Amino acid sequence: MKTMISDNEFKSRIRKTQRKMEERELDFLIAFSSYPEREGHIEYFTNYHGAFPPSQHDDTYRGLGYGALILERSGGPTLFPGVLFASGRLVGIEKVISNEDVGLAVSDYILEAIRTSGKTNSNIGVVGSDVFPDLYMEQLKKRTIKMASKKANFLEADNLVIEQRMIKSEEEQRVLKEGARIADVGIRAAFEITRVGAKESDLGIAAAKACYEEGADYVARTRIYGSEISGVRWPIMTNRKLERGEITGIDLVGFSGSYGFDVLRMWTVGNPSSKQKEVLGDAAQLTGETTRRLHIGMTGDEISKMTIDISKELDLKGTPSPFGHAIGLEIVENPILLPKSNVKTTPSSFLCIEPGLESSEGQTIHFEDEVLLSEKGRSETVSKCTKDFS
């Protein structure tokens, strides 16, 4: 049976958020989401999934591919799915209002609620300000403020939800661990068909098939690396045939139980040379030692500097490049583990640790692990797939 979040946990999230709204004197909270990988804010409360992509707009249809959710200080949330496309089970939703124009529907709802509230001043918190297009957001604000018979104040409230999502509950940890297990199986499947003349797409298809057979909801990316490929590129896999002696690998990204998985491994086509064994071993060691030294309260900037220090301390071969991020309902969540990032890790942070080492040949070697920071501060490597395929 698939590991999932219980209805009770969804409902507890709503109650906790309503208490925070009261503390901040917010009368309404609007959360926005976007299909397919920025659904976290609405998903967090309701398990809602859209199934329609963000699209161009016209005079009638505005906000296709986006969803909104309004939470008041009491009662269940109201969902605004745009056009009514949804998948999965919905939890705790009190009302669904579908409209061709998401911003218009949200504005109408808030205006009516303000008019009947009896209050002279209403504070409206906005979550997902980086998700909903500014064009629609400004129209929503202007219309609401202009037509409200009482004063309406729009306030940024992203952290009200983001800070909750950063701390993964025991139920979330179980779902995320299951996703990491599925990713491990997919990576092993890609390795097992690696041979001279195999296509990049062969590896990607094998990994995706294995993940779906293990219960994945959705395999989003199967990025295949090779001697000519060291960074991010599009397309993420091609029909190029693998060559003997090159370093290849897969960055495997998908979802299980609505939560993400993201694991990366690299290996050689055929037996590795002594130099390749060294560079692969050094990159694996950099990921492992960075993970071992993690602790609660570190910023992305501090972790990045620590990674570079580890590379120097261990005299690893190659130029280090720090990288990592948290994972949850979305693949990339806070904290972002990059230089200058000042968001701190928390108890029960679920992180993807993936520093790289650029070899003298110009290829960057990565090993990415999913890591849980326990409430006691210990780091647990959740990704169990081997880093040594030789």
What does the pLDDT look like over 319-329, one tens digit per residue?
999 999 999 99
Strand partners of residue 69 = 31, 79
Predicted local confidence at residue 234, as pLDDT: 73
Angle between helix 7-23 and 158-166 (nearest 10): 140
Please say if the pLDDT value at position 83 is more than 90: no
**Would you call 204 helix, strand, or coil by DSSP?**
helix
Mean pLDDT across the chain = 94
Exposure on the CB side of residue 310, measured as CA atoms within 13 A? 25
Predicted local confidence at residue 361, as pLDDT: 78
For the chain, the domains span 7-165, 167-381
- Encoding tokens for residue 69? 């959710």
Helix (H) or strand (E) holding 67: strand 66-72
State how far the Cα of 256 lies from the Cα of 214, in Å rounded to an integer: 10
State how far the Cα of 349 lies from the Cα of 165, in Å rounded to an integer: 9
Express each pLDDT in 91-112 by its tens digit.
989 999 999 999 999 999 999 9
Residue pair 57/19 in contact by the 8 Å Cβ criterion = no
pLDDT tier for residue 151 given thresholds of 50, 70 and 90: very high
pLDDT tier for residue 1 given thresholds of 50, 70 and 90: low
Please say if the pLDDT value at position 60 is more than 70: yes
All residues at 6 or more sequence positions from 152 whose CB lies less than 8 Å from its CB, including other chains: 110, 114, 122, 124, 144, 145
- In the chain, the percentage of residues whose pLDDT exceeds 90 is 85
Q: Is 197 left (phi over 0), alpha (psi -120 to 50) or beta?
A: left
Q: What integer is the mean pLDDT of 43-56? A: 92
Q: What integer is the mean pLDDT of 365-370? A: 96
Q: What integer is the mean pLDDT of 172-199? A: 98
pTM of this structure: 0.95
Q: Does domain 7-165 have CATH number 3.30.530.20?
A: no
Poorest-pLDDT segment among 1-5, 44-48, 328-332, 366-370: 1-5
338-367 burial: b if 16+ Cβ within 10 Å, else e: beebebebbebbbbbbbbbbbbeeebbbbb
Pairing of strands 364-366, 379-381: unpaired
Q: What integer is the mean pLDDT of 259-280? A: 96
Other beta carbons within 10 Å of 265: 28
> Per-residue DSSP letters for 240-260?
PBP-TT-EEEEEEEEEETTEE
Predicted local confidence at residue 362, as pLDDT: 82
Q: Does domain 167-381 have CATH number 3.30.565.10?
A: no
State how far the Cα of 122 lies from the Cα of 118, in Å rounded to an integer: 10
Please say if the pLDDT value at position 232 is more than 70: no
| CA angle, residues 152, 156, 159, in degrees to nearest 5 | 140
- Encoding tokens for residue 191? 């390795």
Please say if the pLDDT value at position 158 is more than 70: yes
